[in-house]
Structure 1
């Protein structure tokens, strides 16, 4: 199963150059890296990234993250994937631009 991380451009650039990340400020504050499923990603973008402009969407195979990935209740009691270790660039299967037009982020066809 693929899970998704939404990055601001500077966060993606840091992961690309450093090869790993402990996440965005919200991830650091919460003690884990927030991910979303395909079904959750659009709501995550609308709730947490509205008005942020173009972002980067990264896809990760949940099974490859092992025991460091936990499914925990969050928004509305739904289970969300949380990573309790740094995200390595080698964990990322693919990434795509996540453009914002007319107040909405437009997700790639691979997610549908």
Structure 2
């Protein structure tokens, strides 16, 4: 199965983790990432389902858009939920790889991001 042809992926995380990422300049992962040994990322078309499965009902979240070219040496596309390929970063993500961030996190945001990915 070939890796998706996308240039941006997304990380959903608590605002406190995002603020630490921004101030320190690097992100080593949230608790689940550290436990799994890689940083979980989703394409726009996957991120809505990721939000519903792991973050629904939580407040104080940020969605960070990550430029894959800035982390391409550490990304592996691996099967996960439903056999879909997900981007996993084996290493740290520099804050310079963040192209946009969103604080108003809801289902409509993910619909918008997916529409952008398709266009």
TM range (shorter): 0.7 to 0.9
1:64 deviation in Å?
2.6
Gaps of 5+ in 1: none
1:75 deviation in Å?
0.4
Name the structure where helix makes up a greater proportion of residues. Answer: 2
Gaps of 5+ in 2: 1-6
The 2-side partners of 1:26 and 1:82 are apart by 12
After superposition, where does 1:73-88 map in structure 2 within 5 Å? Answer: 73-88=79-94
The 1-side partners of 2:37 and 2:100 are apart by 25
Across the aligned residues of Structure 1 and Structure 2, the Cα RMSD in angstroms comes to 1.5
Name the structure where strand makes up a greater proportion of residues. Answer: 1
Which of these residues, 66, 79, 94, is aligned with residue 100 of structure 2?
94
Is the 2:63–2:105 contact (alpha carbons within 8 Å) kept by the matching residues of 1?
no
Q: Establish whether residue 106 from structure 1 lines up as the match of residue 108 from structure 2.
A: yes
* CA displacement 1:46-96 (0-9 Å, x = unmatched): 001012114111111213312200000000111000001111111111111
